[in-house]
Amino acid sequence: MNHELLLSDLVGLKSYSGHEAGVRDFAKEWFKKRSIEMVNEGVISEFTDRTPPGFDLAVYAVQGYALIDPILTDNYKLNLGNRSFTVLNTPGHTPGGICLFEEKTGLLFTSDLLYQGPLYCYAEESSAQDYYSSLKRIQVVEKDVAVIHPGHNYNHASLRLIDFAIECFDRALNNQPPDSLNSGYQEYRHPSMPRLAVRIKHP
């Protein structure tokens, strides 16, 4: 039996200029305001020195963002008809990051904030303190979470991942010795989940 899946709506969980090319193809979009600002700023900064002839950065904007209504804010209820998700403001990886939580089913979509792999917190726009606060934010709802759906590597993750990531950030923010040093970041790994690592800027 053939099934056709029609995707008409788009929810942006983070800001990334490389992800936005197809935004205009959706009938409705939801994004956080800072995500929109960062994408436009990022494109402008990335292409200032190599724009094609006739391209005017002064009037540039990602096509499709005019369709965004409403702009997502913390605790906004995203009503999809028979399903409803609460927007959790979770900056850290990027200032525009959010998670989505469905109270009815206990599903938590964590995007790039949390997954079983290296958590990137060393880009210019990243903030270790914001990242830590965001993890503490989702820890508050952890007792009501049935399944974590992360943005990378696996389609679901252990609930222990929240506490393990917080423990890694605790070590980092308390200036404990990292497990490894690299040119752009220092890394803190969790002994009970070796694939989980926090990568933050050098102090």
Q: Are residues 153 and 110 in the same domain?
A: yes
Q: What is the DSSP letter of 32?
A: B
Q: Are residues 60 and 78 in the same domain?
A: no
Q: Are residues 189 and 104 in the same domain?
A: yes
Q: Are residues 122 and 201 in the same domain?
A: yes
Token representation of residue 66: 């005019």
Domain residues for the domain of 104 are 73-203
Q: Are residues 6 and 96 in the same domain?
A: no
pLDDT in tens, 7-57: 444 455 455 554 555 555 544 555 545 554 555 554 445 555 566 677 776
Q: Are residues 42 and 134 in the same domain?
A: no
Q: What is the pLDDT confidence band of residue 72, given thresholds at 50, 70 and 90?
A: confident
- Is pLDDT of 107 > 80? yes
Give the C-alpha distances (Å, rounded to integers) separating 148 from 63, 141, 142, 160: 32, 12, 10, 10
Residue 133, SS3 per DSSP: helix
Nearest to 45 by CA among 15, 25, 11, 71: 15
Q: What is the pLDDT confidence band of residue 67, given thresholds at 50, 70 and 90?
A: low
Q: Are residues 66 and 77 in the same domain?
A: no
* Residue-level pLDDT at 8: 43
